[in-house]
């Protein structure tokens, strides 16, 4: 689906929010604390993502299309995409979620 700028930002806003929760849940599951979700996945490049958390969050907040993500973040996004499409099948053909 060909989107305009507003539609792309809307789709990416939803995707980024979900991806941030996916990443946050993973790291919360590895720490001792009150909130400790049970997850059945690992994050690709988890050491890199953890060490560069601020840069990763800035990259996500930019709402740029998935193909423009850093390689490390792109790998995490690719892993998460099937779950996102299960919840939001209407975005399966969105250009901004295409990995090139």
Compute the distance between CA of residue 76 and CA of residue 45 in angstroms, rounded to an integer. 8
pLDDT score at 35: 77
Evaluated on CA atoms 25, 18, 82, 70, the torsion sign reads negative
pLDDT score at 40: 92
- Per-run averaged pLDDT (10 residues), the chain, 100 residues: 82 96 92 84 93 94 94 96 97 92
What letters, b where the CB count within 10 A reaches 16 and e where it falls short, cover 37-62? eeeeeebbbeebbeebeeebeebbee
pLDDT score at 1: 61
Confidence (pTM): 0.90
């Amino acid at each position: 689906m060909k989107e305009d700028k507003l539609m792309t930002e809307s789709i990416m806003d939803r995707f980024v929010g979900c991806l941030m929760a996916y990443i946050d849940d993973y790291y919360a599951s590895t720490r001792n604390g009150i909130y400790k979700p049970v997850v059945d996945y690992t994050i690709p490049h988890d050491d890199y993502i953890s060490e560069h958390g601020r840069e990763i969050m800035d990259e996500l907040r930019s709402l740029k299309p998935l193909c423009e993500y850093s390689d490390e973040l792109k790998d995490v996004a690719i892993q998460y995409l099937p779950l996102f499409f299960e919840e939001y099948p209407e975005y399966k053909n969105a250009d901004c979620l295409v990995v090139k």
